[in-house]
Amino acid sequence: MRSARLALYVHIPFCRAKCPYCDFNSYAGLEGLMAPYVDALITEMALWRDTIRQTRVTTVFFGGGTPSFLPLAETERIFAALRRSFRLAPHAEITVEANPGSADSARLDGLRRLGFNRLSLGVQSFQDDELGLLGRIHSAAEAREAYRAARRAGFENVNFDLIYGLPGQPLAAWQRTLAEAIALRPEHLSLYALALEEGTPLADDVAGGRLPAPDPDLAADMYLRAGEALAEAGYQQYEISNWALPSRRCRHNLVYWDNEAYLGLGAGAHSCLGGFRFAAVRDPARYIREVTAASAEPPAEGLPAFPAGLRHLETVEEVSQARAIAETAILGLRLAEGVSLTAFRRRFGLSLLSAYGPAVAELTALGLLERANGRLRLTPRGRLLGNEAFVRFLPDK
């Protein structure tokens, strides 16, 4: 299973508290599983070692959950195993997500010493009432202090996650959060419209009338205002939801948007590797059991390139050529620069315009797509209506 480069994702599913809007694979109250979970992660890395040891790992991303909630000693064990099992590039981008409520100076100092060189802070808002609505365990003051502590620890590449389009959120409150974020000057900002995920407490509160439904038109206005403010402050929008100072784009996420190879480690982690997409079981306790019980069984039928013992995989799908073409087009269109027509032809041996001629013509006429500098990209209006464009590229099956 060979690839010129590889991105690694490490999933840490533990949280101090589960936020009411979150449907990620994360859990509160499972601190007793932390050490055995780390043992299982180390075992899973060893399973992959012989298969991809010659592949250069260019980015690593610890996500969750709340990776900063994991005891530093456990994080150190994971980091040591990563270095043993994989060939990290000398200047690999190594990101860790952190909640400002679990990111004190000592923790951030330790993470930086381990080798993390990029920090993603889940700030979400600088308004305390909004943080309360979102069930966050930190205050706006704690978010500011976490950022200052990160700088003192030596982090020179920091991202803020921010959420807009909350129930009852006025435009002025969003602008205050954005202005404060810009004033702090992180290298990167990820802005996400709130999604009411089925089964989450926040979605239930809206459905039950206890909270007003988010206003999609207001959310669109917030998105547009954010783009204007960030551009004025020198941030470059390089993806639908992401802005960065020059040369500070998230290299790990660019692997996803370029539809290149990545390996996910941990409970519920997803991978795209060797012509397959696959995902591990979501439940952390089951993940531990399955990885621990891994044996030298032959690879599953139809998966000759997989290492033996991957009992913890819950779903495995071979990616057809048609699906690879569609996914490359859709993911590439998320980028502000769009899809290179030359690179697309080189990769698949066909023209994107001939493969999707009617869809491209229709979306161009609707003002959602445009061609520029040898690329096909979304227009500013298309970024607001991206799903309307993406669905036109999906394969029939």
> Based on the domain organization, do 154 and 249 belong to the same domain?
yes
Model confidence over 251-265: pLDDT tens digits? 999 999 999 999 999
- Do 249 and 349 belong to one domain? no
Mean pLDDT of 265-292: 94
Q: What is the pLDDT of residue 395?
A: 81
Q: How many CB atoms lie within 10 A of CB 397?
A: 6
- Band of pLDDT at residue 303, cut at 50, 70 and 90: very low
Which of 211, 232, 257 is at the close of a domain? Answer: 257
Give me the pLDDT at residue 302, please.
Answer: 47
- The predicted pLDDT at position 121 comes to 98
Cα–Cα distance, 160 to 174 (Å, whole number):
14
In this predicted structure, which of 243-257, 323-337, 383-397 has the lowest mean pLDDT? 383-397
- Rounded CA separation 240/191 (Å): 9
Boundary-marking domain end, from 241, 257, 273: 257
Q: What is the pLDDT confidence band of residue 397, given thresholds at 50, 70 and 90?
A: low
- Number of domains the chain is built from: 2
Listed residues 257, 287, 312: the one ending a domain: 257
CA dist 211 and 391 (Å) reads 31
Residue span of the structural domain in which 365 resides: 321-393
CB distance 52 to 106 below 8 Å: no
Give the pairing of strands 5-12 and 262-265. parallel
pLDDT of residue 304: 40
What is the pLDDT at residue 1?
A: 47
* Adjacent-strand bridge partners of 96: 62, 119
The predicted structure's pLDDT at residue 312: 87
Query: Is 165 in contact with 219 (CB distance < 8 Å)?
Result: yes
pLDDT-derived band at 297, boundaries 50, 70, 90: low
Mean pLDDT estimate for the chain? 92
Give the pLDDT confidence of 4-40 residue by residue, as tens digits: 679 999 999 999 999 999 989 999 999 999 999 999 9
pLDDT tens digit sequence for 340-385: 999 999 999 999 998 999 999 999 999 999 999 999 999 999 998 8
Q: Which residue has the tokens 């269109």?
A: 333
Provide CB contacts within 8 A for 364, sequence distance 6+.
Answer: 370, 371
Nearest of 31, 96, 102, 93 to residue 64 by alpha carbon: 96
User: According to the model, what pLDDT value does residue 307 have?
Assistant: 61
Q: Give the whole-angstrom CA distance, residue 35 versus residue 74.
A: 7
Mean pLDDT of 320-331: 94
Structure tokens at 186: 């992180």
299 within domain boundaries? no
Is position 263 within any domain? no
Structural element, H or E, at residue 150: helix 140-153
